[in-house]
Amino acid sequence: MIYFRKRSNIENWSMEMSDGLTEIKNAIVDGQSPVVKERVELALKQGLDPVVVLNAGMVEAMAEVGQRFESGEAFVPEMLLAARAMQAGLTILRPYLVKADFKSTGKVAIGTVKGDLHDIGKNLVGMMLEGAGFEILDLGTDVAREKVVAVVKESAPDLVALSDLLTTTMPSMKATIEALKSEGLRQRVKVMIGGAPVTEA
């Protein structure tokens, strides 16, 4: 004869929490913003730690999306949908993280350089970084080097992320980095550049 042990209320609750995180993760991967909002709200109502929701639900989801992109299984539109879904969840989660005194991974100032108005790549990177726990200072597009210098002085970001789409605006990246050097700020901040014309060289 086989005996089945009845699941305790604690085990039931634990399984529901695990299922809830899986649903959040899957909804983000699938780019389903309304489902993400609904599931995040439910997880919080059930008493799940907001930091756990962020790390085990959202960050895990964006890591999977990033892996899919690298392997050629997902493309920019899918990444944008996933990032927007994650943002929908973060909007609900953010006040709870503040209450929980959540410490960010770091602070990133991100912008598209002077002369360039394209922002899809910048926005996508910003959303991915925010999903990974970074505090984002979005400087917008057509950002002058003086503005970057001022932000580094005033807000002390850990990273400055510069984006462009046009080959003609790439010199603005160099000019911005040179401005940081001339102001004696280059050693205080890491700089990351990206965009269509940027190569490893």
* Over residues 169-182, mean pLDDT: 96
Q: Is the pLDDT of residue 121 over 90?
A: no
* Over residues 60-81, mean pLDDT: 89
Q: Which CATH number fits domain 107-195: 3.40.50.300, 3.40.50.740, 1.20.1250.20, 3.40.50.280?
A: 3.40.50.280
* Over residues 3-15, mean pLDDT: 40
Tokens of 99: 């209450």
**Hey, where are the domains in the chain?**
9-99, 107-195
Q: What is the mean pLDDT of the chain?
A: 87
Give the SS3 label for residue 103: coil
Q: Which residue has the higher pLDDT, 100 or 81?
A: 81
The structural architecture, per CATH, of the domain 9-99 is Orthogonal Bundle (1.10)
**What residues contact 53, with CB distance under 8 A and at least 6 apart?**
21, 24, 40, 43, 44, 89, 93
**What residues contact 39, with CB distance under 8 A and at least 6 apart?**
20, 23, 24, 27, 89
Q: Round to whole Å and give the CA distance between 103 and 25.
A: 22
Q: Is the pLDDT of residue 186 over 60?
A: yes
* Over residues 71-86, mean pLDDT: 90
* Over residues 175-197, mean pLDDT: 95
pLDDT of 105-116, one tens digit each? 899 999 999 999
